[in-house]
Amino acid sequence: MVIAVCLLQAFETLRSGVWDIENVYSPSSAAAKALEVYRRQYPRAQVAAFGFKAFEVQPWMPQNPFDNYHDGAPRPSYIVWLPKSWSPRVNQSNWQRSLKERPDLILASAIDLGGRRYDLLPQACTAGYGVRQAFPGAMIWRGVAIEDQTLTMFERGRTNGCGG
């Protein structure tokens, strides 16, 4: 019986390891690198975060890269979960506010959009944004992707992803 359990565990460990080699769980490192490149190209650009998973880039960056979080102050570079703090909540009004503020770039987390998507891409397109770059990732449980971890950069003035 013990041998059967050990073999089962070994199989699952091997399967998980192969998945980790071939897939991305968190795209935060790649998104942080792209965000740094963007900041170097456009040092005066306004960059906004939408959704709490956008903050996964923070450990890879020297300071807070988001202008809509604590007015762009370099610290704190993590979410402060206080009632009067910046809201990472994903809802229609926060998305509309992000678009109306007209930042040059919005880093949005797809996990937050899933199930509550509200057709955000068409709204972004209507507001003059397109997809600059998407960074796919997924949380896997028992071999099935259960949570979309994708981070998407929406850039003002782009048409990518907008059908034109």
Question: For the chain, first and last CA: distance in Å?
Answer: 60
Residue 138 · residue 131 · CB < 8 Å: no
Neighbours of 11 (CB within 10 A): 10
Region 31-52: mean pLDDT is 93
Give the whole-angstrom CA distance, residue 76 versus residue 64.
Answer: 7
Q: What value does the mean pLDDT take over residues 37-44?
A: 94
- In this prediction, residues 60-89 reach a mean pLDDT of 75
Using CA atoms, how far apart are residues 114 and 137, in angstroms rounded to an integer? 13
pTM of the model: 0.81
pLDDT of residue 116: 55
Is the confidence at residue 42, as pLDDT, over 80?
Answer: yes
Question: 69 with 120: CB under 8 angstroms?
Answer: no
Element (H, E) at 3: helix 2-22
Proportion of the chain above pLDDT 90, given as a percent: 30
Q: Please check the confidence at residue 155 and state whether its pLDDT lies above 80.
A: yes
Q: What is the mean pLDDT of residues 38-46?
A: 94
